[in-house]
Amino acid sequence: MFRYTLQTLRARKGGFIGAFLALFCAAMLVTACGILLETGLSGAIATERYAGTAVVVGGDQQVHETTTSEKKGKTKTKTKSKPLSERVWLPADTVDKLSGIQGAARVVPELTFTAYAVNAHGQPTSGIDGKPSYGHAWTSAVLTPFTLVQGSAPQGPDQVVVDRELAGSLGLHAGSALTVESGLGPQRFTVSGVAAPRGGDLTQQSSLFFSDDEAATLAGHPGQVSAVGIVAASGVSADTLAAEARQALAGTTAQVHTGGDLGPMEFLDASNARIKLVSMGGAIGGTSLLVAILVVVGTFALSIQQRYRELALLRAIAATPKQVRKLIGREALLVGGVAGVTGAVAGLPVAYWLHDRFVALKAIPDTLQVTFSVFPFFAAIGAALLGAWAAARISGRRTARIRPAEALAEAAVERRLGWGRLLAGLLVLAGGVVLLAVLSVLDTEPASSPVTFLTVVVLAVAVSLLGPVIARIAVTVLGAPLRLAGVGGYLAAANTRAGAKRVAAAITPLALLIAMACTVFFVATTMGDASQAQARAGNKADWVVAAATPGVPEQAVQALRQTPGVTAATEVLHSSVRVGVDKYTVEGLSAQGLTQTFDPGVTSGSLDGFGDGSVALSKVAASGLGKKPGDTLQLTLGDGTPVTLTVDAVYQRGLGFGDLTVSRDLLAKHVDDPLAGSVLVKGADRAALAAALRGFPGVAVLDRGQVDQLATTAEQSNAAVNYTAMGLIIAFTAIAAVNTLAMTVSERIREFALLRLVGTTRRQVMRMLRLESVLVVLVAAVLGTGIALAVLTAFSVGMTGSATPSIAPWRYLGVVGFAAALALLATIIPGRVALTNRPADVIGARQ
Residues of the shown chain interacting with other proteins in the complex, contacts defined by CB under 8 A: 1, 3-4, 7-8, 10-12, 309-310, 313-323, 403-405, 407-408, 845-847
Cβ neighbours of 120 (radius 10 Å): 8
Q: Which is nearer to other proteins, 309 or 483 (CB)?
A: 309
Where residue 256 falls (left for φ over 0; alpha for ψ -120 to 50; beta otherwise) is: beta
Closest CA to 149 of 166, 127, 132: 166
The pairing of strands 632-636 and 642-651 is antiparallel
Q: How far is the CB of 744 from other proteins (least distance, A)?
A: 21
Closest CA to 277 of 367, 182, 409: 367
Q: Which is nearer to other proteins, 1 or 426 (CB)?
A: 1
- Beta bridge pairs of residue 557: none
Q: Which is nearer to other proteins, 250 or 411 (CB)?
A: 411
Q: How far is the CB of 475 from other proteins (least distance, A)?
A: 26
Q: How far is the CB of 7 from other proteins (least distance, A)?
A: 5
Q: How far is the CB of 345 from other proteins (least distance, A)?
A: 28
State the alpha helices, DSSP H only, in 440-541: 445-484, 486-498, 500-538
Question: From the centroid of its chain, how far is CA 414?
Answer: 44
Q: How far is the CB of 415 from other proteins (least distance, A)?
A: 16
Q: Residue 827 half-sphere exposure, CB side, CA atoms within 13 Å?
A: 23
Q: Which is nearer to other proteins, 188 or 403 (CB)?
A: 403
Q: How far is the CB of 9 from other proteins (least distance, A)?
A: 8
Torsion of CA 764, 770, 774, 776, to 10 degrees: 100
Q: Which is nearer to other proteins, 763 or 846 (CB)?
A: 846
Contacts of 522 (CB under 8 A, 6+ apart): 788, 792, 805, 806, 807, 808, 811, 812
Q: Do 441 and 801 contact (CB within 8 A), yes or no?
A: no
Q: Which is nearer to other proteins, 6 or 430 (CB)?
A: 6
The radius of gyration of the chain's CA atoms, rounded to the nearest angstrom, is 33
Q: Which is nearer to other proteins, 314 or 524 (CB)?
A: 314
Q: Which is nearer to other proteins, 6 or 426 (CB)?
A: 6
- What is the DSSP secondary-structure string of 50-70? TTT-SEEEE---EEEEEEEEE
Q: How far is the CB of 484 from other proteins (least distance, A)?
A: 36
Q: How far is the CB of 757 from other proteins (least distance, A)?
A: 17
Reported in sequence order, the residue ranges of 580-639 that DSSP labels E, i.e. its strands, are 582-589, 602-605, 614-618, 632-636
Q: Which is nearer to other proteins, 177 or 400 (CB)?
A: 400
Q: How far is the CB of 405 from other proteins (least distance, A)?
A: 4
Q: How far is the CB of 18 from other proteins (least distance, A)?
A: 18
Q: Which is nearer to other proteins, 313 or 825 (CB)?
A: 313
Q: Residue 573 half-sphere exposure, CB side, CA atoms within 13 Å?
A: 29
CA distance 242 to 230: 9
- CA geometry: angle at 463 spanning 462 and 467, to 5°? 125
Contacts of 436 (CB under 8 A, 6+ apart): 455, 790, 791, 794
Q: Do 804 and 446 contact (CB within 8 A), yes or no?
A: no
Q: Do 566 and 682 contact (CB within 8 A), yes or no?
A: yes
Closest CA to 799 of 532, 538, 528, 440: 440
Q: Do 213 and 120 contact (CB within 8 A), yes or no?
A: no
Q: Do 560 and 699 contact (CB within 8 A), yes or no?
A: no
Q: Which is nearer to other proteins, 4 or 353 (CB)?
A: 4
The three-state DSSP-derived secondary structure of 79-108 is: EEEEECCCCCCEECHHHHHHHCCCCEEEEE
- CA geometry: angle at 375 spanning 372 and 381, to 5°? 120
**Single-letter amino acid code for the residue at 525:** T
Q: Which is nearer to other proteins, 17 or 316 (CB)?
A: 316
Closest CA to 618 of 610, 627, 631, 609: 627
Quick check: helix, strand or coil at residue 803? coil
Q: Which is nearer to other proteins, 26 or 338 (CB)?
A: 338
Q: How far is the CB of 404 from other proteins (least distance, A)?
A: 5
Q: How far is the CB of 299 from other proteins (least distance, A)?
A: 19
Q: How far is the CB of 307 from other proteins (least distance, A)?
A: 10
Q: Which is nearer to other proteins, 304 or 820 (CB)?
A: 304
Q: How far is the CB of 755 from other proteins (least distance, A)?
A: 21
Q: How far is the CB of 1 from other proteins (least distance, A)?
A: 6
Q: Which is nearer to other proteins, 69 or 847 (CB)?
A: 847
Q: Do 53 and 229 contact (CB within 8 A), yes or no?
A: yes
Cβ neighbours of 165 (radius 10 Å): 20
